[in-house]
Amino acid sequence: MLDKDTFPRDKICGDAISGKSVDVLRELGLLDLVVRDESLGSWGVTFSGPSGDVAAIPFSKFMDAPVAPGFVSRREVFDDILFRVAGEAGAEIWQNADVSGIVRREDGTVEGVTVAREGGEPQIVKAPLVVGADGAYSVVARDLGMEQLSEKHYCAGLRAYYEGVTGFHPKNFIEIHFVDESIPGYFWIFPMPNGRANVGIGMLSAAVKKRKVKLKPLLDQLVDHPRFKERFANAKRIGPVKGWGLPLGSKPRPMAGDGWMLVGDAASLIDPFTGEGIGNAMVSGWRAGEWAARAIEANRFDKAFLTDYESEVLDRLRNELRLSHMMQRLGNWKWLLDTVIRKASRSEELADLISCMFDDLDERRRLVSPLFYLRVLKA
Ligand SMILES: Cc1cc2nc3c(=O)[nH]c(=O)nc-3n(C[C@H](O)[C@H](O)[C@H](O)COP(=O)(O)OP(=O)(O)OC[C@H]3O[C@@H](n4cnc5c(N)ncnc54)[C@H](O)[C@@H]3O)c2cc1C
C-alpha cells in the first residue's frame, strides 16, 4: 500500500459517514472501532429550502437502534482507523511514497508504478495488479489515459471547521441548506464531536464557472446570512477554509483493465446529488479487495477476468447514481425544492416518506416521478 501522505492525515471532506459506509464497516467487522473512536452518531437530516422552511427528517427506522445509522467523524480519525486495520491485517505499507505514474510492459499491460519514497529517487514497484485508490486527482487514472472529467461531472467543494455553532437538533441531525445564493449547490452544517462543526459548500463546477461564483467569499456570506447568523454569533473558525474536487458518478470511469483496477474517487463514483463519496469508495474498495484475492487465486490479471469487478460495483451503484444525477438536475428548480421542503416541514407523512427514501432505492425513485410532485402539490 503506497500513500504519498503520512497517517493520520487530513482529507478535505464534510466528514459525514452515511448508512452505506456503516453497512460496509459492519460487513468487515469494523463498525465497533469507528463507534468507539472520536465520532458523533447522527439520526437524521435537516433540510431547509430557499424560502427558509425547515424540514427535520429523522431516520425513523433506526430511532431505537443501538448504533446510529450515520456518523460524523473527522477523516483524520476515520481514515486512520482503516489504515491501521490494513496494517494489522498484514499489508506492507509505504507512507510518504509519492506515485508519479504507471509502468507498462511492451504489450501495453500495466506492470507496476513509479514511486518516490520519502523524497528519494523514483523507483519502480512491480505488481501483477495495480489498484488506483489515489483520489480525485488520480495519477493512475491519468496515466491510464482517462480523460479529464468535464465540468458537468465535477463538483467544487469547500470546508471549514468551527466551534461554538449553536442550534443543532438534539439527535445530531446533519444539515443541508438550499439558500438562493448557493443554488444549484448547497450549504452544509454537520455537527461533530466536542462541540465542533464541519461547515461547507459544494457546487457543480459548470455552475461555478458559468456564474463566476467565488466559493470562499460565498461561504463567508452564508455563515453571515440572516438565516444562520445567530447560530454563528459566538462561533469561531478553527483553521483555514480548504477546497478539493469531487469527481461525480454521473460519469463513472472504466474501473478495470489489463493489470489494473480503480476505486473510489479515482473511478469517479461520488453521488451527484448529495456529494457523498465515502460510501461508494468503501463499496468499490471492498469489492476490489475481493476481486484482487480472486485474481491472485486464479492467476488472472487480465481485463476479461477483472471486468466482473466493474460489473459488480456498477450493478450495486448504477441505478442510484443515475437517480441522483436526475435529482441533481431537479435541484436547479428552486420552487420545487421550496415546495417539497415546505410540505415536508408540515406533513409527517411526507417527512416519513422522504426518510424511507434514504434507505430504499425504490422509494427514492419516486423523487424523479412527476406523479410524486403532483401529489406533493396537491397535499
Ligand atoms: C469538500 C468536500 C466535502 C465532502 N463531503 C463528504 C461527506 O460529507 N461525505 C461523503 O461521503 N463524502 C464526502 N466527500 C467526498 C469524499 O471525500 C470522497 O469521495 C472520498 O474521500 C473518496 O475516497 P478515496 O479513498 O477514493 O480518495 P481519498 O480519500 O482522496 O484518498 C486518496 C488517497 O490517495 C493518496 N494519494 C493521492 N495521490 C497519490 C499519489 N500520487 N501517490 C500516492 N498516494 C496518493 C492520498 O494521500 C490519499 O490518502 C466530500 C468531498 C469534498 C471535496
Interior angle at CA 366, CA 364 and CA 368, nearest 5: 95
Q: What is the pLDDT of residues 241-254, one digit of tens each?
A: 999 999 999 999 99
Judge whether 73 and 42 are in contact, CB under 8 Å: no
What is the mean pLDDT of the segment spanning 127-133? 98
What is the mean pLDDT of the segment spanning 90-96? 97
For ligand 1, atom 31: residue with the closest CA: 135
Q: Is the dihedral of CA 271, 237, 43, 21 positive or negative?
A: positive
Q: What is the pLDDT of residue 374?
A: 65
Atom of ligand 1 nearest to the CA of 242: 1
For ligand 1, atom 5: residue with the closest CA: 14
Residue among 3, 39, 117, 143 to mutate when testing ligand 1 (max atoms within 8 A of CB): 3
Better pLDDT: 312 or 343: 312
Residue among 4, 113, 215, 248 to mutate when testing ligand 1 (max atoms within 8 A of CB): 4
Question: What distances in angstroms separate CA 134 from CA 11, 239, 268, 290, 372, one per listed residue?
Answer: 12, 25, 11, 19, 40
Measured CA to CA, the distance from residue 270 to residue 247 in angstroms comes to 6
Q: What is the pLDDT of residue 224?
A: 97
**Which helix (H) or strand (E) is 349 found in, with range?**
helix 348-359
Which residue intervals of 196-302 are DSSP H helices? 205-210, 215-223, 278-298
For ligand 1, atom 52: residue with the closest CA: 13
Atom of ligand 1 nearest to the CA of 279: 11
Residue 350 CA, chain-centre distance (Å), reads: 26
Measured CA to CA, the distance from residue 313 to residue 323 in angstroms comes to 16
Mean pLDDT of the chain: 91
Ligand 1 neighbourhood includes 70 CB (under 6 angstroms): no
What is the mean pLDDT of the segment spanning 356-362? 64
Q: What is the DSSP string of 157-185?
A: EEEEEEE------TT--EEEE--GGGTTS
Ligand 1 neighbourhood includes 264 CB (under 6 angstroms): yes
For ligand 1, atom 1: residue with the closest CA: 157
Ligand 1 neighbourhood includes 337 CB (under 6 angstroms): no
Q: What is the pLDDT of residues 278-326, one digit of tens each?
A: 999 999 999 999 999 999 999 999 999 999 999 999 999 998 898 888 8
Give pTM, 2 decimals: 0.94
Ligand 1 neighbourhood includes 175 CB (under 6 angstroms): no
Atom of ligand 1 nearest to the CA of 18: 11
Residue among 246, 269, 321 to mutate when testing ligand 1 (max atoms within 8 A of CB): 246
Q: What is the pLDDT of residue 364?
A: 62
In this structure, of 120-129, 177-186, 188-197, the range with the lowest mean pLDDT score is: 177-186
Ligand 1 neighbourhood includes 242 CB (under 6 angstroms): no
Atom of ligand 1 nearest to the CA of 202: 1
Q: What is the pLDDT of residues 165-190, one digit of tens each?
A: 999 999 999 999 999 989 989 999 99
Q: What is the pLDDT of residue 66?
A: 79
Q: What is the pLDDT of residues 26-70, one digit of tens each?
A: 999 999 888 776 899 999 999 999 999 999 988 877 777 878 889
* Model confidence band, residue 372 (pLDDT cutoffs 50, 70, 90): low
CA of 139 to the centre of ligand 1 (A): 13
Ligand 1 neighbourhood includes 185 CB (under 6 angstroms): no
Q: What is the DSSP string of 110-161?
A: EEEEEEEETT--EEEEE-S-EEE---TT-HHHHHTTPPPPPGGGEEEEEEEE
